[in-house]
Amino acid sequence: MNDREQQGFTEYFASRAGVLRGTAYLLCGDWHRAEDLVQTTFVKLYRAWHRIAAREVLDAYTRQILIRTFLDENRRGFFHREKATAEHADRTAPTGGSAEDRLMLLHALTKVPPRQRAALVLRFWADLSVDETARAMGCSAGTVKSQTSHGLENLRDLVPTANFID
């Protein structure tokens, strides 16, 4: 990677790492693990950086790496060996009823199966279309629809009483 490419990569990291970390946090429910996921994502992106001629596809490509890394690590049981928590060491827990609901949602999301969780996060947090989600997850649009539906069903079962709308 030459100096110009290096600078472009560094600037891209600065502009996108925060957003990706938020997505990763929703996927794994833990800020430390989210940062590990983002770091792994950018290490893989670094390797391919000089080959990506179309910068307009960069966000989709990077998100695809993140999602597939997350799913691969789940396949290998990485996330099962170390229990994920929704708490970050530096954070303070919000107080009040709606804050509890929010925490409950985050906890519940970590209990939804990984592929369903990925579909939910991409569809409703990243606001991707069904087809874009399918491409990121490497599956068909029909699978995304069914994973989304099952994911919402599971969430309803996990938090049947929570009111998520303020």
Partner 1 sequence: MNEQEFRHALRDTMTAVPEPPPMSETPVLEASRRAQRRRKARWAGAGSAAAVAVVALAAVVLGGNSGNGAPGGGVQVGGSGTPTESAGGETKDTETSWPNGQTDRTAHSGPRFDQGEALLGEVTAVVPAGFGAPDDLVYLDPAYSGGLLRHSQAQYRDTVDGVEVWEYQGEQPVTKDGGVGRMFVEVTSPGSGITGDGCDLAPTLWGLEGTCQEKVVDGKRVGVFTATGSRRDFETWAGYRYDDGTVVFVAQALDYPGSAMPALTSAPLSTDRLAELAVDPRFPRD
18 binds partner 1 (CB under 8 A): yes
Task: Select the residue interacting with partner 1 from 80, 82, 113, 164 (CB under 8 A).
Answer: 164
At 26 the three-state DSSP class reads helix
In the complex with partner 1, the residue whose CB is nearer, 46 or 83, is 46
In order of 40, 63, 111, 137, 150, the CA distances from 44 in angstroms are 6, 12, 27, 16, 31
Query: At 8, which amino acid appears?
Result: G
23 neighbors 125 (Cβ within 8 angstroms)? yes
19 binds partner 1 (CB under 8 A): no
Site for partner 1 in 88-147 (CB under 8 A): 88, 90-92, 94, 98-99, 101-102, 105-106, 120-121, 123-125, 130-131, 134, 138, 140-145
Residue 88: closest CA among 143, 129, 140, 31: 31
Centroid of chain to Cα 6: 25
Query: At 127, which amino acid appears?
Result: D
At its nearest, how many Å lie between partner 1 and the CB of residue 111?
15
In the complex with partner 1, the residue whose CB is nearer, 83 or 109, is 109
Residue 131: closest CA among 53, 83, 64, 46: 64
118 neighbors 67 (Cβ within 8 angstroms)? yes
Task: Select the residue interacting with partner 1 from 21, 33, 63, 117 (CB under 8 A).
Answer: 21
80 binds partner 1 (CB under 8 A): no
Footprint of partner 1 on this chain (CB under 8 A)?
Answer: 1, 6, 9-10, 13-14, 17-18, 21-22, 25-26, 31, 35, 38-39, 42-44, 46-47, 51, 53-54, 57, 72, 75-76, 88, 90-92, 94, 98-99, 101-102, 105-106, 120-121, 123-125, 130-131, 134, 138, 140-145, 148, 152, 155-156, 159, 164-166
